Structure 1
Amino acid sequence: MFDTLSDKLESVFKKLRGQGVMTEDNVKEALREVRLALLEADVNFKVVKDFIERVREKAVGTLVLQSLSPGQQVVKIVHDELVALMGGGEDNSLDLAAKPPVSIMMVGLQGAGKTTSCGKLAKLLKSQRRKPLLVPADIYRPAAIEQLKILGRQLSIEVFDSQADQKPVDICSKALKYAQLSGFDTVIFDTAGRHQIDDYLMDELVQIREAAEPREILFVADAMTGQEAVNVAAGFDERLGITGVVLTKLDGDAKGGAALSIKAVTGKPVKFVGLGEKLDALEVFHADRLVSRILGMGDVLTLIEKAQSTFDTKEAERLQKKLKKSNFDLDDFKAQLQQLKKMGSLESIMGMIPGMGKMMKQMQGAQPSEKELKRIEAIIDSMTRQERANHQMINGSRRLRIAKGSGTSVQEVNQLLKRFTEAQKVVKQLQKLGPKGLMKGMGKGMFPF
C-alpha cells in the first residue's frame, strides 16, 4: 500500500543524506517534497500542514544544523513525528480488564470487512487463551448471519444462533445472557453496515450499545477508501463514541492516507490492521513498526513474532537432529518452505527485513513468488522417497519423469536442484559457525538470504 510513498520519501532522504551541511533553505526544500508526497498519498490536508510545521520547527534548530550528519537527523525527526502522528507511544491494547463477559462491538460501513474482522479478532483472542463468542447481529445483509457461522466453524469458535427475523437489539441482549451462563469471557457483536447519516440505523447502534455495554466499540474502516474512511470514522465517533479503529485491506494498492490520518482526525487509536484475507491476517497495530516499513527500515520485531507464532517445535527438533548428522534432504527443504508460507506472503516477510524491500524492487520479479513455491512443492512431491533423500541419484531420465509428474519442465527441475544444493552449502556453513559465529556471519552479510 505504501510503495509509492516509500519511494518518494526515500528519494528525498537520499538527497538529505548526501549533504554535508544543512541549511534552512535545503531543509525547507526537503520538507516541501515530503509535504507533496504525503498529499499525493491522500493524507488529510490539515494533518499534513500540522505535521510539516512540527518537523520544520525541529529540523531548523541548531542541533540539526550543527550535527555531523544533519541529513540523518532530519530523517529521524520525520520518523519520530510520523510515529507520533499515528499514535505511537500510546496504549492501543483492548480494554479487557473487566468482569466477564467483556463485550466488543464492531461497527462500520457495509463492505468494510466487519464480519471477517470479527472472525479474525476472535481467532486472535482465542490464541491468547480467551473464550470468545461471536454474535451475528446483521439482519439486513443477505447471508451475513450464515457467513459468520461458517467462519465460526472454520475457527472452532461458537457462534450465537440468531435469526434474520429477530431485532438486532434482542439478539445482542440474549447473546450476552447466554455468554454469562455458558462461561464465555468475551462477546464480539457483528453489527450491520450502514452510513453514518442514516439516523434510523445509527439509533439502532446506540440501542445495542446501551444493551450490551461494550468495553470496546471498534470502527472497521476499509483503508482502500482513503480519506472517506476518516470522515466516516469521525461520524461514527460523534454518535457512538468509538474506542478504536480496525484498518482492513492494508495489503492493498491504495495510497495509504487513511492509515496516516485517522488517529490525528478522530483522536482514536488504530488497534488492529488487516493484512490479507486469511483468518490469521490480523495484526496488533504498532505505529513505530509501520513507519519503519514505510521508510524502508524493515520491521524485525513483527517478523520475529510471526516466526514464533508459526514455529513448530517438533519439526525444529527433528530438523536439528538431522543437521547434526549432515543429512539435510529435499523433504527438509520442503518442510522449511511450508513453515515460511505460514508466516504470510513472501513480499510482506521480505518487507520486514531492513533493506530487503528495496532490494526486491530492484530485482524486478527475480525473487521467488507464491506460485513458484507451490511449483517447488509439486516437483518435490513428484519424486520418490529415495530421490528426496539422495538428490544426486536424480539423472536425466528421472528429471524428465519428475517434470511430467509435476506439470513442470526439466529446466525447472534443474533450477530447484541447484537451489537445494546451495541451501545445503549454507546449512553446512551454519553447522561450522555455531550460534555465536552465525550471528557474526550474518552481520557481515556472508549468507545468501
Structure 2
Amino acid sequence: MARNKTQILVVDDDQGHRSTLATLLSDWSHRVTAVVDGESAIDACKNSPFDLVLMDVRMTGISGIDALKAIRVHNPAIPIIIMTAYSDVSNAVEALKAGAYDYLTKPLDFEELKLTLERAAEHLKLIDENSALKMALAQTFNPGEVIGKSPQMHALFEMVSTIASSEATVLITGESGTGKEVVAKMIHANSNRKNGPYIAVNCAALTETLLESELFGHERGAFTGAEKKREGRFWAANKGTIFLDEIGEIPLAMQAKLLRVIQEREIQRVGGDHVLKVDVRILAATNKVLKEEVTAGRFRQDLYYRLNVVSLRLPALRERREDIPPLAMHFLKKFAKKNEKNVKGFTPGAMDVLVKYAWPGNVRELENTVERAVVLLMGEYASERELPPALFDQAEEEIAPSRDFSDMTLEEIERVILTEVVENVGGNKSEAARRLGITRKTLASKMQRS
C-alpha cells in the first residue's frame, strides 16, 4: 500500500526539544505524534502503525536503546532514528547494533535531519514496492504443484518475487518431478514479459538435427523432409520467454550454437543466410549437476556461466515433508472434481504412509499416487487400501535387519556406505557429500581410494 504522509513518532523527555521537533516535522508535511518517554513509545507503537520513530537515547525511565529493542520485537521493519549527545556516540553505536536505522547528534542539524528522513522515506518506499511485488506474485500466479509452506519453498517464492521482473537468465535445478517447469511459468507470469509468449522446449526429446531446427527454424529444402519453412521456437518466443528444459542433454555441437544465441540474441535458420535478431528471456532447467558435466567434458563451461546468472534449486519432496499433506489434499480435490467423486480427505494411516515415503519421483509421483487413490476409492476417505504397494515396500525395507559388517574392514564398510548414498541420490555427488557431512572433494577422494 502506498504511503501518503509519513507518520512519525517523536520520543523525547525534553519538552522544549520535543515541541520544536513536532512543529518542524509538521511544517515539513509529516504527521507527528509526540510522547515523553520510552514506555509511552512502546505502547504507541503497539497501538498505531507509525512509519518512523525519532527517539532520544537518554530519557527518564527506560533508555532509548531498551525502548528500541522492545519496539523492534513488535515491529522489526520500522526505521528508528536515535538522537544522542555528541559525547555519547558510543551509545549510538550500540543502538545501531540493536537495529537502529541511523543516529543524529544533538544539537540537531535540521538539514541533516531532513536528509536522514528522506533516506528513510526511500527505505519505506522500497518496503512498499517489495510488498506490492509479493502481493502481485500471490494474485497473478496460482502455484499449483509448487504448493508449500516449508522454509525451503518460502525461500524459493521470495527469490522468484525478486528476480521475476528482471531480464536475467535463470537456471532452475532439481530432481525430476520437482516442478521446474511450473517455476519457469511462475517467473514468466510475473515478469515484464507476461503478455508475450511463453515457449517451452524439451531438449531431451529431440535428436541433434531436429533440436537445431526446433530451436532456430529452417528454410524450405534445408534437409530431406524440410518441405516448408519453419520459424523455430526462439523466433516464436520473440518479446517473451523461452524455457529450455533438460538443458544438460544438449549435444556439445549444439551447445556452441546456443551459446552464440545467448550472447548475441541472434539466430540463423538451418539452411538460411540471414541473421535474425530475437528479444527473448531465457530460462533453463536440468536435473543434472552441470558443474560435474563441465568437469567431465560433457557441457561447455562458457555456456554454463551464461546460463547460471541466477540459480534456483527446487528441493526434493523428501526434503520438505511438511508440504506433503497440503500437496496431497490439493491433488485429492483436483482429481475428485475431475472424476466427479465426493472425497473428503485421507485417513490418518494413509497420510502417515504418504509423509514417511521418500518420493523418488517427487511431486509428480505424489500426484500420480493420489490420482490412483481417487480412481480406486469407493468411499469418502482415501485409506491405505488405495495406495500402491511400493509405498509399503519402503517401510518394510526401513525396518529390515541391518547389514552384517562384522567380516568387513573399515575401508570396505566405508566403500559400501559411500556407494549406497551416491546411488540413493541418483548419482548427485554434491548432494551425497552434503548428506554425509563432508565436502565434495573429500567424497571424490574417498571414492577414488575405494
Q: TM-score, normalised by structure 2?
A: 0.27
Higher relative contact order (CA 8 A, sep 6+): 1
Larger-gyration structure (1/2): 2
Q: Which has more helix, going by share of residues? A: 1
